[in-house]
Amino acid sequence: MGGDREVVSPAATLGSLTGRLHGGDLWPSDGHWVHARDAAEFSVDAEYVGIFNPAGDGGVVVLNAQARKVLRCFDTPATLPDIRAGLPLPSAEVDAVVNRLQQAGVIHPPGQPPRPSFRESTMLTAWLHVSNACNLRCSYCYVHKSAAGMDERTGRASVDAVLDAAAIHGFTAVKLKYAGGEASLNSALVLILDGYARERAAELGLDLHATLLSNGVALPKLFTQALAAAGVRIMVSLDGIGAAHDAQRPTIAGKPSFRSVARTVTRLLDEGWVTPDSRVVRDGLESIDPARGFVRENRFSRTE
Ligand code: SF4
């Protein structure tokens, strides 16, 4: 659940009435604006909805009921004075919400939808599919699993290709993500490739960041200690707590996996060798809050 999230409410004070279009023009405060056709709305809980326009670059905004009423006013083209006059809210609060909706690309002048724009990146990220095997059978998995794993020659050539491309194209850093399948099932190769990548990065003057993506079912202690010593981060996938996770992430034998993952996470934290990230995958509203609670209780470094 990546991306920034900001809560918009009429109580917020968010600045001026004019903003900058993606092309750099300023919008007049008395011009017409309309709700972006491509903006997707999803329920967060009983009080809030999230809005995201994939064509914009403003990330996700979260609206309370009053801010949502402001947005609804733009279902047909409307001006800011129209909105102020039509809602029983202080003008300054309406202005603040409109300003933020505009910044997020959720409303735009009729006929001028935001165009996607991307910041220039200095880091080249590559996923290395080191194992096609996995000890889980997640319901949504797209990997056609087999016993195959990446061999060392292919792995070194892949590292060379990524790092050389980064240097040639002016990147200053590379991030390698060791993935699968379950990447830890090819742990020896992960450590070999990480060592090789660090040598090559030093030669080329590149910063190297690395993360092991794991389902967390079985991460041997010696392996995680070696990763910690090398500076490789670990990301453990969690699809909710207990039954919510188990419903989507059964083992090959169809058994629950949550207890194993929780045990692994607790061990990693207790050892203090690594600081894992947790990506909470939303499969329904009931999964989010307990999962966030789990993250807090277990002192994860970050939620996404
Ligand atoms: S852990 Fe990943 S690779 Fe394994 S079954 Fe689940 S989604 Fe697929």
Closest residue CA from atom 2 of ligand 1: 181
Mutate to test the pocket of ligand 1, among 249, 281, 283 (most ligand atoms within 8 A of CB): 249
Residue 253 neighbours by CB under 8 Å, 6+ apart:
none
Q: What is the pLDDT of residue 221?
A: 92
Report the distance separating Cα 234 and Cα 278, nearest Å.
9
Each residue's pLDDT tens digit, 31-90: 899 999 989 888 877 888 888 888 877 678 888 888 999 999 999 999 988 898 999 988
pTM: 0.64
**Can the peptide bond before residue 180 be classed as cis, meaning omega within 30 degrees of 0?**
no
* pLDDT above 60: residue 24: no
Mutate to test the pocket of ligand 1, among 139, 141, 257 (most ligand atoms within 8 A of CB): 141
Region 101-117: mean pLDDT is 87
Could you give the percent of the chain with pLDDT greater than 90?
A: 52
Give the atom of ligand 1 at the shortest distance from the alpha carbon of 180: 3
Region 3-12: mean pLDDT is 46
Residue 182 CA, ligand 1 centroid: distance in Å:
7
* pLDDT above 60: residue 270: yes
Give the atom of ligand 1 at the shortest distance from the alpha carbon of 142: 8
Residue 145 neighbours by CB under 8 Å, 6+ apart:
132, 133, 134, 181
Q: What is the pLDDT of residue 29?
A: 54
Closest residue CA from atom 6 of ligand 1: 138
Residue 132 CA, ligand 1 centroid: distance in Å:
10
Closest residue CA from atom 3 of ligand 1: 181
Each residue's pLDDT tens digit, 119-131: 788 999 999 999 9
Mutate to test the pocket of ligand 1, among 143, 236, 237 (most ligand atoms within 8 A of CB): 143
Binding-site residues, ligand 1, Cβ < 6 A: 134, 136-138, 141, 143, 180-182, 215, 249
Q: What is the pLDDT of residue 9?
A: 52
Give the atom of ligand 1 at the shortest distance from the alpha carbon of 215: 1
Residue 141 CA, ligand 1 centroid: distance in Å:
5
Confidence of residue 180 (pLDDT cuts 50, 70, 90): very high
Give the atom of ligand 1 at the shortest distance from the alpha carbon of 134: 4
Region 155-163: mean pLDDT is 98
Report the distance separating Cα 104 and Cα 63, nearest Å.
12
Report the distance separating Cα 289 and Cα 283, nearest Å.
12
Domains located in the chain, CATH noted: 11-108 (3.90.930.70), 123-297 (3.20.20.70)
Residue 123 or 7, more confident? 123
* pLDDT above 60: residue 106: yes
Q: What is the pLDDT of residue 271?
A: 78
**Averaged pLDDT score across all residues of the chain:** 82
Region 232-251: mean pLDDT is 91
Residue 19 or 226, more confident? 226
- Per the CB < 8 A criterion, the answer to whether 279 and 304 are in contact is yes
Q: What is the pLDDT of residue 45?
A: 79
Each residue's pLDDT tens digit, 12-23: 333 333 333 333
Residue 253 CA, ligand 1 centroid: distance in Å:
14
